[in-house]
Amino acid sequence: MKLRGTAETLIGIDVVDFEVSEPKLILSNCSVSNMNRIATGSIDIAYSRSVMEHVDNVDAAYSEIHRVLRPGGKYLFLTPNFWDYVSLISCVIPNRLHGKLVKFAEGRPESETFPVYYRSNTHYRINKLSRKHKLKVVDFKYFGQYPSALLFSDALFRAGSTYEKLLERYRYLHFLRGWILCILSKTE
């Protein structure tokens, strides 16, 4: 909804059910790994936020992204960095417990928590998958994160804030920052 008026047609996809009645807004209940309702070569710009960490079959996702993009089309995505402490912790805790932990730490409903796989959440993996699926990495940046997962404890929150400042200060530690912003371009 925030992108209304920015393009002739907007297409929204999600794996959860949703309804929005807006002209020039096409909504589809599907996965980035199977966007069969979207025509080949029909997308100029695709964007996702906090999606790629939830994709189990990243080869299918990158293949679909390549398929739906027009030549020169771009895919921008923001995703958690696998090397961030929150991601590493979530990897060792079974997915079935994530909802309870998120509710405790952040107060979000358990229903807003989805399984994580982190199969496209490192510089190495994104480069490898992009090359394999004829996509070029145009830009790749690490960003810090507000330590909201630590708000349940003043001491841990302060430690998380100090850690973030440390990572921000030293460029050689940026690979540990919480978020990745990546722009891919269809090369053919």
Please, which residues have CB within 8 angstroms of residue 1's CB and are 6 or more apart in sequence?
A: 20, 22
So what's the pLDDT on residue 128? 98
- What's the CA gap between 147 and 104, in Å, rounded? 14
The pLDDT value recorded for residue 64 is 96
Q: Helices marked H in the chain — which ranges?
A: 58-68, 85-92, 95-106, 123-132, 154-169
What pTM value is reported for the model? 0.88
Strands 179-186 and 69-80: antiparallel
Q: Work out the average pLDDT over 128-132.
A: 97
| Residue whose structure tokens are 């929005």 | 20
Matching residue, tokens 């430690």 = 159
pLDDT, one tens digit per residue, over 83-118 is 999 999 999 998 899 888 888 877 888 877 888 999
Instruction: Quote the pLDDT of residue 20.
Output: 67
pLDDT digits (tens, 9 = 90+) for 1-41: 666 677 777 777 777 777 766 667 777 778 899 999 899 99
Q: What is 44-99 written as a DSSP string? A: EEEEEES-GGG-S-HHHHHHHHHHHEEEEEEEEEEEE-TTSHHHHHHHHS-HHHHH
Residue 8 is predicted with a pLDDT of 75
Of 109, 179, 96, 104, which is closest to residue 149 (Cα–Cα)? 104
Residues 6+ apart with CB under 8 A from 139: 181, 182, 183
pLDDT per residue as tens digits for the range 142-165: 999 888 888 889 999 999 999 999
